[in-house]
Amino acid sequence: DSGVTQTPKHLITATGQRVTLRCSPRSGDLSVYWYQQSLDQGLQFLIQYYNGEERAKGNILERFSAQQFPDLHSELNLSSLELGDSALYFCASSVQVGGPNEKLFFGSGTQLSVL
Amino acid sequence: SQKIEQNSEALNIQEGKTATLTCNYTNYSPAYLQWYRQDPGRGPVFLLLIRENEKEKRKERLKVTFDTTLKQSLFHITASQPADSATYLCALAQTGANNLFFGTGTRLTVIP
């Protein structure tokens, strides 16, 4: 058990809808990262937050947004969903903002299916 | 464009042999490189980290090398066991950046 909690584990929804994925980092970790994993694209970095502030952005679509709350949990909001958004979404956490000694602890992921 | 490529999608080896996985990168200047293991339906789990000024790192049956001239890292599992069967991902962080970029992974199967 990595200590990172993601909910829900599975989510089935329709095109055009909006969903929210939730992540609680390991106790004491200040950084949260969101990744998308699909069969053809591998693990793609979306966005990183550190202590409530956005720190780095990857290939995150404009339809997607995220935030990190004062209690350090994070939410990833996906809107106007398309079939191609179906994927496994992972949250990861690390102690600090990232650096040579930083390793990531991943949650078990949320499997999103858009029908 | 930036790429992180792992040598093959799948690798099958006999139990007891050494598995060697390759990670090649282009248009990155990594400060360090990490290797993760991912089992089906689970999140990746950290295995090893190697810095740009280190040539080799070992942990039990695992060994990682890092050649910044060749822009390549090799990941070895010696005396492989069926329990080593999983997908292995390399990941790197650009110098000055904090986030990790992952390769596509190699699915290793160790045959008893």
Report the pLDDT value the prediction gives residue B29, as an integer from 0 to 100: 81
Identity at A75, one-letter amino acid code: E
Rounded to an integer, the average pLDDT of B19-30 is: 90
Residue A58 backbone dihedrals phi, psi, to 5 degrees: -110, -140
Each residue's pLDDT tens digit, B52-70: 889 899 999 999 999 989 9
From B68's Cα to the closest Cα of chain A, the distance in A is 16
Report the Cα A51 to chain-centroid distance in Å: 15
Q: How many CB atoms lie within 10 A of CB A2?
A: 19
* Nearest residue on chain A to B43, alpha-carbon basis: A108
CA distance A64 to A76: 7
Backbone Cα Rg of chain B: 13
Rounded to an integer, the average pLDDT of B17-25 is: 95
* Nearest residue on chain A to B91, alpha-carbon basis: A43
Rounded to an integer, the average pLDDT of B16-42 is: 91
Q: How many CB atoms lie within 10 A of CB B77?
A: 22
Contact B102 A45 (CB under 8 A): yes
For residue B95, give the 3-state DSSP assignment. coil
Contact A90 B42 (CB under 8 A): no
From A9's Cα to the closest Cα of chain B, the distance in A is 10
Q: What does pLDDT average to over chain B? A: 91
Each residue's pLDDT tens digit, A10-65: 999 999 999 999 999 999 999 999 999 987 778 999 999 999 999 989 889 999 99
Each residue's pLDDT tens digit, A53-107: 999 898 899 999 999 999 999 999 999 999 999 999 999 999 877 665 688 999 9
* Nearest residue on chain B to A45, alpha-carbon basis: B101
Q: What does pLDDT average to over chain A? A: 93
Q: How many CB atoms lie within 10 A of CB A26?
A: 18
Disruptive mutation site among B99, B102, B106, B107 for chain A (greatest number of A CBs within 10 Å): B99
